[in-house]
Amino acid sequence: MAVPLRFRLNHEDVEVHLDDPAATLLDLLRGGLGLTGTKSGCAVGYCGACTVIVDGEAVPACLQMAGLLDGREVRTVEDLSGPGGLDPVQEAFVACAGMQCGFCTPGHVMAVRALLDKEPDPDEEQLRQTVDGNYCRCTGYVKILDSAREAVALERARAGEVR
Amino acid sequence: MSTAHVPAARTAGAPQAPAPELPPDRAVLPAVIGTAVQRVDAVEKVTGRAAYAADVRLPRMLHGAVVRSPHAHARIVSVDTSLAERLPGVHAVVTGADTARIKWGAFRPDLYPLALEKVRYVGDEIAAVAAVDVETARRAAELVRVEYEVLPAVLSLDEALAEGAPLVHDDAAGNLAHEFSFDRGGADAWFDRSDVIVEGVWQSTRQWHSSIETIGCTAEWSQDRVTLWVNTQTPFLARQRYATALGMPLRAVRVVQTEVGGGFGGKSGDDNTSVICAILARKAGRPVQLVNTREEEFLASRPRIPMRYHVRLGFTSDGLVTAKDIDMIADNGAYTGKAQAVLGAATVRHDALFNYRAVRARSRLVYTNLVPTGAFRGFGNPSADWAVGQAWDLAATRLGIEPPDLFLLNAVEAGSVSPHNHRIGSCELKQCIRRAAKAIGWYEKRAAPTPNRGLAMGVSVHVSGRRSFGDYDGSSAMVRLAEDGRAVVIVGEGEIGTGARTTLAQIAAAELGLPVADITVTRPDTDLTTHALGALASRVTYVAGNAVKRAAEHACEQLLAAAARQLDRPASELWVEDGVVHAPPAAGDDTPVQVPVGVVVRAELYRPDGQPIVGMGAFDNPSEFPDQSRFGNESGAYNFVAEAAEVEVDPATGAVTVLELAAAVDCGTVLNPPLAQGQVEGAIAQGLGMAITERFAWADGAPTRPSFTDYKLPTAGVMPKLHVEFADSYEPTGPYGAKGVGEIALDPVPSIVASAVADAVGVRVHELPITAEKIYWGIHDPDGRAREEGESR
């Protein structure tokens, strides 16, 4: 019997019915909800390709049981950009050539986004620790770190404009 | 950004006069060449909109799962699919009986789509299921009952080559899949005349591509024809092999490239996933998607070939190399794929680095009951450069010459010809050696050594395309100018993450005088695009770049001819800049003429007998198809690298930290600096994985836990400080002087890490990876378990 589940997804209330209460958030996003921006790389919480933000924390969606999400707030890469353009983190990855094949990119973008939400002015060590948590097989991380630094600068500039 | 197009022959008022000693297009490199043009796919990728293999969604699509052998070698007694077929949600179960029973493979057909009679490695495909969702398909796969008669297996090179060893394939006596040998220049005579001879045995190990996206396919049939949406690097070559495997005519298979989430050789169509997907979809009568799990990727993709080299090198007392002799055996695994071609590259390529007087080799490709191996970035050269590089490093020590100086003494130059007839065109190897030494601070660090720190250098040579799939390594392209002012570059090479579509767009933009934003480069579709060999052998920039350049030139000629007719002006007065056709003011007028490209294209169509503007261009690598002994100039352009590393070893634990790594690369003109840097940085990271971090514990012919939890890719935290530089270089046959850059920077990394460890603590590791344990025992028990082979005589 399907279990009803209500949570906030990308700033909207959603209600889904889970056939399998043990299904992961990753299965739910990519399957029933059709949000394929979140990628599956290992399914054991190791590579970071499926990183999403749940209640402000960057987490691997492959380890989140969907059935435990009731009432929680989930953000995926699809939430970052819209008619207003790209998120500063995305802009930074574009500007710094911070991707090659791009498969790990949404996960890296969400990890940096979560960091900046909690710490708008992270130091180099925090940036490195954040990037260190996600695999990339293409770049050697140099341009991902450049992107993370640029994201801080763009975020700061945008905050300045708002003020 | 200015995109001025100034075809010197046709343009009035072109400002520059080329310097006579330079190749004509070197003096006038367009502004869009050599600049940090933004990737054309960047926004799709950062937003998650790029659609990879598992993102394909078709109506009524089912999902597949594969039943794999748990045994390294067994006879299949029976396969019972009845329980699986009865599981609700299952639409098809297929076995070898549903296949055409045809063996396939790039060079030595030895692989069935689904095993018949025997399985030959842990992971070998036996049956597959299509069901409404992945979970149901996997549950059903577990319900397929296979009865085995387990057979004795050969689980290492030594077991496979032992007298009376069980045969992996009955038609391969001695478990030899392929072998060849040569003696060019008389090695024995040159060894006799050598003052110093070094020798040793070095072995590389399996390395998995570990693209973060696994291999995947979606198949849909329409009558007798199947369309495969695949994350393949080589859609046209894969299509040929898939058609063979399916027992169908080539025309019955269409391959469309999805976004590719990393390739590195692992997605070049030697595995069964797409074939099984097609067979499932045919039986189910519905589209099927089949995507490897990470575990399947480790068990049944085509990782790097472990190679064991016995190397001998001879030198004169003043450091001139005389002769080289290698005896190499390579672990093919259970099926052949591209390993046969890799064996060739791993035997001859590195002889294009130094001025050897004589080279001798014997190379054997050996079947084992282990996961089949194949192409991985570097194509055998990382293993060759590791083994031969270690011998060179030993020689430098024996000769008392610093490695950069020894390399400079022996390095090839432009105009050199290797013993295998590799004809070296542009070559800045010596410049690379000097620059890498300078960037790492070689002589300063030598002057003030730090305890437990070591320094090393290595060099490598790579191709820009390689003639190996028949006597053709060309590319062709069409450039269609659209009535909206854009250009569509129709080319079948594709994009696997390197930025190929961006650099090809830059080349077309430069030739056409359009902004890059107005260029669209197609994805490969075997029905719609030009034939292409795809992303392998560092070939796309060089080979396809030339083809696109010619097609764009051809389109531009037609555009200017059309504009000349429309404006009633000679074509020689016209030029294109930023998407606008320009002409000087007509006589008696002082207003310059400016017509948007799209207006010209539309006017050329909308008239009686209107014509489209479509340019065509082709280029074949100016290379030779090597013979059976691998004699022949395999590429028209060779790229070079010198890399230097500094490491620190903790003598208490053996742990090695790579502190700094400098790479100086000769890839001709750098078309897009961030993209070229990215190739070098990423290749170095993979080289560090091969050197240090990537390995499994094994039992019974398979990794004990085939997962990222055990197999450690390098993370940001293990990356050293990198210095990436590009040599001042120009390849006359390349597009705007460019050569390949995709693979080369990986090649020297394992060797320089090993040499730097030896320099730091005197321990020379002989089998990859270079683990703390091996170094620890080398320090604390130097005569015991960690050191194996005699190093020199």
- Spell out which residues of chain A touch residue B678, defining contact as CB-CB under 8 Å: 97, 100, 138-140, 142-143
Q: Which of B40, B44, B45 has the most A C-beta neighbours within 10 Å, making it the best mutation to test the interface with A? A: B45
To the nearest whole angstrom, how far is the Cα of A90 from the nearest Cα of chain B?
Answer: 6
Three-state DSSP class for residue B210? coil
Facing A101 at nearest CB: one of B57, B262, B686: B262
Residue ranges of chain B with per-residue pLDDT less than 50: 1-20, 786-793
CB contact under 8 A, A99 and B39: yes
What pLDDT sits at residue B557? 98
Residue B710 near chain A (CB below 8 Å):
no
Of B743, B751, B718, give the one whose Cα is nearest residue B644. Answer: B751
Which chain A residue is nearest to residue B497, measuring alpha carbons? A101
What pLDDT sits at residue B14? 38
Q: Which residue has the tokens 């790209």?
A: A86
- Spell out which residues of chain A touch residue B44, defining contact as CB-CB under 8 Å: 102
CB contact under 8 A, B678 and A103: no
pLDDT per residue as tens digits for the range A101-143: 999 999 999 999 999 999 999 999 999 999 999 999 999 999 9
To the nearest whole angstrom, how far is the Cα of A6 from the nearest Cα of chain B?
Answer: 23
Q: How many CA atoms lie within 13 A of B134 on its CB side?
A: 12
Q: Which of A30, A86, A101, A109 has the most B C-beta neighbours within 10 Å, making it the best mutation to test the interface with B? A: A101
Of B127, B119, B121, B116, give the one whose Cα is nearest residue B74. Answer: B119
Residue B707 near chain A (CB below 8 Å):
yes
* C-alpha distances out from residue B456 to A112, B163, B642, B662, B789, Å: 36, 40, 11, 10, 21
Contact B61, B287 (CB under 8 A): yes
Residue B88 near chain A (CB below 8 Å):
no
Q: Once rounded to an integer, what is the mean pLDDT over residues A98-103?
A: 98
- Spell out which residues of chain B touch residue A77, defining contact as CB-CB under 8 Å: 47-48
- Spell out which residues of chain B touch residue A144, defining contact as CB-CB under 8 Å: 716
Q: How far is CA B121 from the centre of its chain?
A: 25
CB contact under 8 A, B54 and A36: yes
Three-state DSSP class for residue B93? strand
**B272 vs B264: CA distance, rounded Å:** 18
Residue A60 near chain B (CB below 8 Å):
no
> Chains A and B: how many Cβ contacts under 8 Å?
172
> What strand order describes the sheet that includes B74-80?
B118-119, B74-80, B145-150
The CATH number corresponding to A88-162 among 3.40.1180.10, 3.40.50.720, 1.10.150.120, 3.40.718.10 equals 1.10.150.120
CB contact under 8 A, A102 and B36: no
Facing A139 at nearest CB: one of B263, B681, B708: B681
**This prediction's pTM:** 0.96
pLDDT per residue as tens digits for the range A40-83: 999 999 999 999 999 999 999 999 999 999 999 999 999 999 88
- Spell out which residues of chain A touch residue B213, defining contact as CB-CB under 8 Å: 39, 41, 101, 103
Residue A112 near chain B (CB below 8 Å):
no
Residue B687 near chain A (CB below 8 Å):
no
To the nearest whole angstrom, how far is the Cα of A159 from the nearest Cα of chain B?
Answer: 21
β-strand B253-257 against B225-230: which pairing, if any?
Answer: parallel
Contact B740, B465 (CB under 8 A): yes
ipTM over 0.90: yes
CB contact under 8 A, A109 and B50: no
Contact B367, B168 (CB under 8 A): yes
To the nearest whole angstrom, how far is the Cα of B202 from the nearest Cα of chain A?
Answer: 26
CB contact under 8 A, B496 and A20: no
CB contact under 8 A, A143 and B678: yes
CB contact under 8 A, B717 and A128: yes
Q: Decide if pLDDT at A37 tops 70.
A: yes
**A138 vs B211: CA distance, rounded Å:** 8
CB contact under 8 A, A138 and B675: no
Three-state DSSP class for residue A71? coil
Which amino acid is it at B488? V
Q: Decide if pLDDT at A22 tops 60.
A: yes
Facing B685 at nearest CB: one of A38, A40, A141: A141
To the nearest whole angstrom, how far is the Cα of A41 from the nearest Cα of chain B?
Answer: 5
Of B206, B98, B101, B112, give the one whose Cα is nearest residue B156. Answer: B206
To the nearest whole angstrom, how far is the Cα of B56 from the nearest Cα of chain A?
Answer: 9
Residue B372 near chain A (CB below 8 Å):
no
According to CATH, the topology of domain A3-79 is: Ubiquitin-like (UB roll) (3.10.20)
* C-alpha distances out from residue B308 to A49, A79, B209, B366, Å: 35, 51, 20, 11
To the nearest whole angstrom, how far is the Cα of B708 from the nearest Cα of chain A?
Answer: 6
Residue A63 near chain B (CB below 8 Å):
no
Domains of chain B (ranges; CATH) run 53-151+215-291 (3.90.1170.50), 307-468+625-780 (3.30.365.10), 474-620 (3.30.365.10)
CB contact under 8 A, A142 and B210: no
DSSP string, B221-258: EETTEEEEEE--S-HHHHHHHHHHHHT--GGGEEEEE-
| Domain assignments of chain A as residue spans, ordered by start | 3-79, 88-162
Facing A102 at nearest CB: one of B41, B209, B263: B41
Residue A138 near chain B (CB below 8 Å):
yes
**B83 vs A79: CA distance, rounded Å:** 44
Q: Do domains A3-79 and A88-162 have the same CATH topology?
A: no
Residue B218 near chain A (CB below 8 Å):
no
Three-state DSSP class for residue A52? strand
CB contact under 8 A, B262 and A137: yes
CB contact under 8 A, A96 and B54: no
